[in-house]
Amino acid sequence: MTRNGGAREQGSRRIAIGLALFAAAVFVSFIVRQWMASS
């Protein structure tokens, strides 16, 4: 918790990118799964 501002910003970016990728993966995999199931 005593990291400097730069490290903190980098940490924030990593968390945000991870969460965004997770959300995108849920969205895409979900539609693809239904697509495969219905075709």
Partner 1 sequence: MQATHTAGHAGEHTHDEHGHHPSGWKRWVTTTNHKDIGSMYLWFSFVMFLVGGAMSLVIRAELFSPGLQYVSPDFYNQMVTLHALIMVFGAIMPAFVGFANWMLPMMIGAPDMAFGRLNNWSFWLLPPAAILLTASLFVPGGAAGTGWTLYPPLSVQMGIGMDMAIFAVHILGMSSIMGSINIVTTILNLRAPGMTLMKMPLFCWTWLVTGFLLIASMPILAGAVTMLLTDRHFGTTFFNAAGGGDPVLFQHIFWFFGHPEVYIIALPAFGVISHVIPAFSRKHLFGYASMVYAIAAIGLISFFVWAHHMYVTGLPLTGQLYFMYATILIAVPTGVKVFNWVTTMWRGSLTFETPMLFALGFLTLFTIGGLTGLVLAMTAVDIQLQDTYYVVAHFHYVMVAGALFSAYAGLYFWLPKWTGHMYNESLGKLHFWLSIIFFNIAFFPQHFLGLAGMPRRIPDYAQQFADFNVMSTVGAFGFGISQLLVLVVVFQSLKGGAKAENRPWDGAHGFEWTLPSPPPYHTFEDPPAFNPSEAHA
Quick check: 2 binds partner 1 (CB under 8 A)?
A: yes
**Does residue 4 interact with partner 1 by CB under 8 A?**
no
Q: Does 12 bind partner 1 (CB under 8 A)?
A: yes
36 binds partner 1 (CB under 8 A): no
Rounded CA-CA distance 38/14 in Å is 36
Q: Are the C-beta atoms of 6 and 14 separated by less than 8 Å?
A: no
Q: How many CA atoms lie within 13 A of 29 on its CB side?
A: 6
The residues that touch partner 1, with contacts defined as CB under 8 A, are 1-2, 8, 11-12, 15-16, 19-20, 22-24, 26-27, 30-31, 34, 38
